[in-house]
């Protein structure tokens, strides 16, 4: 299921979570998780409420004593939470994003981040609840609108700060933003951390068949609906042979070809669907390389971070798109050089083709002291004879065309 989140009046953790609850997420799942984590003193309510005539769901969190918790305490609570691994890792990722921003702003180590903006129960509830809600509703890709920020100043534990608050500004790097329709703080650090973690991309509503709508209400009265709307449904392109992906791109002009090759290989191992490089000429006539990474939409934020870590680039473009896929399967075929795996694809025309897995061709070529291209064609010729499926690459016409000669 894909989703679209309207952040035209900003986003906060409670608005995001409220929209998920309003769309059908059972709050009992969150309460059960909190109880299993030893946090039964935290109460979470999500009453229906309105804002400037628009109905929605608000989230209210309370905890007796409201203890101050540092990053490490919250991290350990989530790390050992008895929940599915996917929402646990997502909640941990959002928490790290928030803690990293706060540590950068305040000039302290991440483990020393200890103040109410991150230690409050509502921050823990919001991030854990959003992760559980996204998982429970089966959201695999989330597109968000540009984030409305507001303006002026906001009062915090650290005094009066400009909007966006310093930590929010750090978290907004690489995101599209707007000033917003009113003043005050419309996007909070927790909301920005959640969007940074869960959004696959930004833009208008993607082509989709809407199945559910959820509206989360903020706590402030701003003179117009202070809500975030969540649309859930199936992509209009999600028919057999189609899926949604995100294209990550960055211009690199400071790494050697060897360093780029290593970075590309590490990105593939990190889960990229494909990685390629394209030479370009940038401003002032500087030669550069565009590193392109094709990622599953749900893995795009993590791979964007990995691309920045591996290359040192300061920004990554994230472009949501969908692709048309041929039906394919992998089967192992016994050959005269040993068993090898082959990818068998069925094209839209109904034609079936096969190609040997490159790793197997390389392994068999090394074992036999032969050129990879020779081995690949030998294996595919034998597999065609056995399966009756035509090889995708054309065989050589005769021995004189063998490129290995």
Q: What is the pLDDT of residues 220-249, one digit of tens each?
A: 888 899 999 999 998 775 555 667 789 999
Cα separation, 298 vs 134, whole angstroms: 11
Q: Tell me: pLDDT of 396 over 60.
A: no
pLDDT at residue 395, rounded to an integer:
58
In the chain, CATH 3.10.20 covers: 327-401
Share of the chain above pLDDT 70, in %: 92
pLDDT at residue 102, rounded to an integer:
84
375-382 average pLDDT score: 94
Question: pTM for this one?
Answer: 0.61
271-276 average pLDDT score: 92
Residue 363 to residues 41, 268, 283, 320, 371: CA-CA distances in angstroms?
58, 19, 43, 36, 11
pLDDT at residue 371, rounded to an integer:
94
Cα separation, 222 vs 245, whole angstroms: 37
> Which tens digits make up the pLDDT trace of 32-84?
999 999 998 899 999 888 888 898 999 999 888 777 788 888 999 999 999 99
Please, are residues 216 and 59 in contact by the beta-carbon 8 Å criterion? yes
Please, are residues 313 and 250 in contact by the beta-carbon 8 Å criterion? yes
Please, are residues 173 and 318 in contact by the beta-carbon 8 Å criterion? no
Helix (H, G, I), strand (E, B) or coil at 137: coil
Higher-pLDDT residue of 64 and 364 is: 364
pLDDT at residue 227, rounded to an integer:
94
> Which tens digits make up the pLDDT trace of 171-227?
998 889 998 888 889 999 999 999 999 998 888 888 888 999 999 999 888 889 999
CATH architecture of 244-324: 2-Layer Sandwich (3.30)
pLDDT at residue 349, rounded to an integer:
84
278-292 average pLDDT score: 93
Q: Tell me: pLDDT of 404 over 70.
A: no
In the chain, CATH 3.30.70.1380 covers: 244-324
Confidence of residue 109 (pLDDT cuts 50, 70, 90): confident
CATH dotted code for 327-401: 3.10.20
Kindly give, in sequence order, each residue whose CB lies less than 8 Å from that of residue 376, ignoring residues fewer than 6 positions away.
Answer: 356, 358, 361, 365, 393
Please, are residues 364 and 379 in contact by the beta-carbon 8 Å criterion? yes
Residue 218 to residues 10, 166, 222, 260, 328: CA-CA distances in angstroms?
9, 21, 10, 45, 47
Cα separation, 145 vs 204, whole angstroms: 6
pLDDT at residue 115, rounded to an integer:
46
Residue 388 to residues 331, 354, 375, 380, 382: CA-CA distances in angstroms?
13, 10, 19, 11, 10
Residue 23 to residues 3, 16, 133, 134: CA-CA distances in angstroms?
11, 11, 9, 11
Burial class (CB in 10 A: 0-12, 13-18, 19+), 183: middle
pLDDT at residue 117, rounded to an integer:
44
Please, are residues 150 and 184 in contact by the beta-carbon 8 Å criterion? yes
Higher-pLDDT residue of 127 and 401 is: 127
Kind and range of the H or E element at 30? helix 27-36
How confident is the prediction for the chain on average, in pLDDT?
88
Long-range contacts formed by 263-267: CB under 8 A, 24+ apart:
263/291, 263/307, 263/310, 263/311, 264/291, 266/306, 266/310, 267/293, 267/303, 267/306, 267/307, 267/310
pLDDT at residue 403, rounded to an integer:
47
pLDDT at residue 355, rounded to an integer:
94
Cα separation, 333 vs 331, whole angstroms: 7
Cα separation, 16 vs 227, whole angstroms: 9
Q: Tell me: pLDDT of 400 over 70.
A: no
120-137 average pLDDT score: 92
Dihedral-angle region of residue 241 (phi above 0 means left; psi in -120 to 50 means alpha; beta otherwise): left
Please, are residues 114 and 67 in contact by the beta-carbon 8 Å criterion? no
Confidence of residue 107 (pLDDT cuts 50, 70, 90): confident
- The residues with which 245 forms a beta bridge, in sequence order, are 296, 321
Kindly give, in sequence order, each residue whose CB lies less than 8 Å from that of residue 63, ignoring residues fewer than 6 positions away.
Answer: 39, 41, 42, 43, 121
| Tokens (6 digits) for 217 | 């209400």
């Amino acid at each position: 299921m894909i989703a679209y989140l309207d952040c035209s009046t900003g986003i906060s953790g409670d608005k995001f979570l409220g929209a998920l609850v309003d769309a059908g997420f059972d709050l009992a799942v969150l309460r059960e998780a909190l109880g299993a984590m030893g946090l039964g003193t935290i109460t979470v309510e999500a009453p229906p409420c309105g804002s400037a005539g628009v109905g929605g769901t608000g989230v209210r969190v309370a905890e007796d004593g409201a203890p101050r918790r540092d990053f490490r305490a919250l991290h350990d609570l989530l790390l050992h939470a008895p929940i599915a691994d996917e929402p646990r890792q997502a909640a941990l990722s959002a928490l790290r994003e928030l803690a990293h921003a706060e540590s950068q702003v305040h000039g302290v180590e991440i483990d020393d981040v200890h103040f109410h903006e991150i230690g409050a129960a509502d921050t823990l509830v919001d991030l854990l609840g959003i992760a559980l809600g996204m998982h429970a509703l089966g959201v695999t890709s989330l597109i968000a609108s540009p984030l409305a920020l507001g303006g002026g100043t906001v009062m915090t534990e650290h005094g009066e700060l400009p909007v966006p608050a310093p930590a929010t500004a750090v978290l907004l790097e690489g995101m599209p933003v707007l000033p917003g329709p009113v003043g005050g703080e419309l996007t909070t650090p927790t909301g920005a951390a959640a969007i940074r973690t869960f959004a696959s991309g930004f833009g208008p509503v993607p082509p989709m068949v809407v199945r559910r709508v959820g509206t989360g209400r903020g706590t402030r009265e701003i003179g117009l609906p202070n809500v975030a709307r969540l649309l859930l449904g199936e992509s209009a392109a999600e028919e057999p042979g189609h899926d949604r992906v995100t294209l990550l791109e960055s211009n690199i002009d400071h790494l050697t070809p060897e360093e780029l090759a290593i970075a590309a290989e590490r990105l593939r191992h990190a889960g990229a669907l494909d990685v390629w490089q394209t030479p370009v000429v940038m401003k002032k006539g500087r030669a550069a390389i565009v590193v392109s990474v094709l990622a599953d939409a749900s893995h795009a934020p993590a791979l964007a971070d990995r691309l920045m870590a591996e290359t040192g680039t300061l920004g990554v473009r994230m472009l949501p798109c969908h692709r048309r896929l041929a039906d394919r399967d992998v089967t192992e075929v016994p050959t005269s050089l040993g068993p090898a795996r082959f990818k068998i694809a069925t094209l839209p025309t109904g034609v079936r083709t096969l190609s040997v897995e490159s790793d197997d061709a390389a392994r068999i070529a090394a074992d036999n002291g032969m050129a990879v291209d020779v081995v690949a064609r030998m294996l595919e010729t034998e597999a065609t004879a056995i399966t009756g499926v035509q090889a995708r690459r054309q065989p050589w016409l005769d021995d004189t065309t063998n490129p290995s000669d």
